[in-house]
């Protein structure tokens, strides 16, 4: 298998252009510069193709599953075709259900509401809050952060062996960390779960935009992801997988669309017959534009070829990591070590800098957008930084003024559509800020580090 050349991978970037690539922003030092959006792990920019597809459909927008008119019929077909497209993208099993939700967080909360009685949930402390927190009504076992993929599997196997083997159990695990970008051994974790009679749900929010996700190949029971991570920021997400727990559960929301038949009783109440299809958990008017946008992104990524996308991204990752390694004051955060495979998500701290101060300088002086804070993964970041994982912190907000140490980090993230120049400018900016310091003064305002006026 030949490895794509740098020129070829730049062509891939051109084939998947994103909105905002021509936006210029002002610098505090004067002038403007093309904005380098390097915060894909929070929300990826919309693919140009997604935007164009949505714009072409917009005049034909109509109610879904509700009307006899042409636009309603067209919108219903579009919505259900989007479901089939995303089902194919995820390589789901024939009897799986795919529910359109608002986001990964919404998807996992939906699944949490559908858990059988007395279900035990096993989740690593390293999870994003979207997959760490929804299980409050279940018996939850939180697993310590592993330091190797093998240790992750062994930790899960021990916990599963110690549980009550007669009750239902669910394992929740990420596919790629939103903090370190490291890939988790999903297939091996799924095998361990099934060997002990448990099911597994995959949080693919950070995995799906970067690598192919096959429900069948990974042998997971459910997968969840967000459109806004997948270059389709129109307020939709996905939960796909086994139907039985979803059909047995009360609807996530009670209302029109979820109900098949509603009748009055003689005692004055109502009897409801709920749908057993995905509609059971899609009450209300569906977000047809959000679903169509996700389907459009799935088609674009599939046609571009994940093999090519992964090869290009690995080259960008290698360049960023090599550049950061040349700056002794920079420490890259990692659970599994430098050689662990990862997606385009890298978090780090800089000696002598408060992370919010450093991120503010990247934005104000270089036009580079990154993220700083705890990334809605507080226990993991605090563990990686040597702090107490039990300590509470405000999500995304600095705890110290410029120049003071804080248990926060800086995250740079990128993917399809990221120009080479943006990551090269980022590496140069890190090197210059560390060696020369900031060119501007900064202050803390409303919990954020901002340029002083």
| Catalytic residue status for 376 | yes
Question: Nearest-CA neighbor of 153 among 170, 171, 169?
Answer: 171
Our CA dihedral for 210, 33, 447, 401, rounded to 10 degrees, sits at 110
Run of H or E residues at 338:
none
CB 345 within 8 A of CB 180: yes
Quote the CA–CA distance of 288 and 292 in Å, as a whole number: 6
Please report the sign of the dihedral spanned by the C-alpha atoms of residue 328, residue 334, residue 340, residue 341.
negative
Run of H or E residues at 255:
none
Q: Which two tokens stand for residue 362?
A: 């990247």
Quote the CA–CA distance of 217 and 213 in Å, as a whole number: 8
Q: Which two tokens stand for residue 125?
A: 């402390």
Run of H or E residues at 445:
strand 442-445
Q: DSSP per residue over 80-129, as a string? A: HHHHHHHHHHTT--TT-EEEEESSHHHHHHHHHHTPPTT-EEEEETTS-H
Q: What b/e sequence results for 257-282 when a residue is b if at least 16 CB atoms lie within 10 Å of its CB, and e otherwise?
A: bbbeeeeeeeeeeeeeebbeebbbbb
Annotated catalytic residue within 13, 119, 172, 376: 376
Question: Nearest-CA neighbor of 200 among 125, 120, 278?
Answer: 120
Q: Which residues are catalytic?
A: 376
């Amino acid at each position: 298998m030949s490895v794509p050349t740098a020129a070829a991978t730049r062509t891939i970037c051109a084939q998947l252009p994103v909105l905002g690539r021509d936006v210029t922003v002002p610098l505090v030092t004067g002038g403007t510069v093309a904005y380098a959006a390097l915060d894909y792990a929070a929300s990826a920019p919309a693919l140009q193709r997604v935007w164009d597809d949505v714009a072409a459909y917009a005049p034909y927008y109509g109610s879904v599953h509700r009307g006899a008119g042409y636009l309603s019929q067209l919108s219903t077909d579009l919505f259900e075709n989007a479901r089939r497209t995303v089902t194919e993208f995820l390589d789901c099993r024939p009897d799986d259900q795919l529910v359109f939700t608002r986001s990964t967080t919404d998807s996992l909360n939906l699944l949490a509401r559908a858990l059988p009685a007395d279900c035990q949930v096993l989740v690593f402390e390293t999870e994003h809050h979207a997959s760490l927190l929804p299980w409050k009504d279940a018996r939850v076992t939180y697993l310590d952060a592993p330091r190797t993929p093998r240790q992750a599997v062994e930790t899960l196997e021990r916990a599963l062996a110690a549980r009550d083997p007669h009750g239902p159990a669910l394992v929740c695990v990420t596919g790629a960390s939103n903090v370190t970008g490291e890939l988790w051994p999903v297939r091996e974790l799924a095998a361990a779960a099934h060997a002990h009679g448990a099911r597994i749900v995959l949080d693919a929010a950070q995995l799906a935009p970067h690598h192919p996700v096959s429900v069948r190949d990974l042998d997971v029971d459910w997968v969840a992801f967000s459109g806004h991570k997948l270059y389709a920021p129109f307020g939709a997400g996905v939960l796909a997988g086994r139907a039985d727990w979803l059909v047995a559960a009360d609807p996530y929301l009670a209302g029109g669309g979820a109900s098949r038949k509603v009748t009055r009783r003689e005692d004055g109440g109502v009897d409801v017959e709920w749908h057993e299809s995905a509609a059971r958990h899609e009450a209300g008017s569906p977000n047809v534009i959000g679903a169509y946008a996700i389907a459009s992104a799935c088609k674009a990524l599939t046609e571009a070829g994940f093999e090519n996308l992964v090869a290009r991204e690995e080259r960008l990752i290698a360049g960023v990591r090599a550049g950061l390694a040349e700056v002794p004051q920079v420490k890259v955060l990692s659970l599994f070590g430098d050689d662990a495979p990862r997606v385009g998500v890298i978090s780090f701290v800089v000696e002598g800098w408060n992370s919010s101060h450093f991120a503010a300088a990247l934005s104000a002086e270089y036009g580079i957008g990154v993220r700083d804070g705890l990334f809605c993964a507080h226990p993991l970041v605090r563990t990686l930084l040597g702090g107490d994982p039990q300590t509470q912190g405000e999500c995304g907000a600095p705890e110290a003024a410029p120049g003071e140490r804080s248990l926060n980090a800086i995250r740079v993230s990128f993917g399809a559509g990221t120009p080479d120049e943006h990551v090269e400018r980022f590496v140069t900016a890190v090197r210059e800020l560390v060696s020369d310091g900031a060119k501007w003064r900064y202050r803390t305002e409303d919990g954020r580090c901002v340029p002083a006026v």
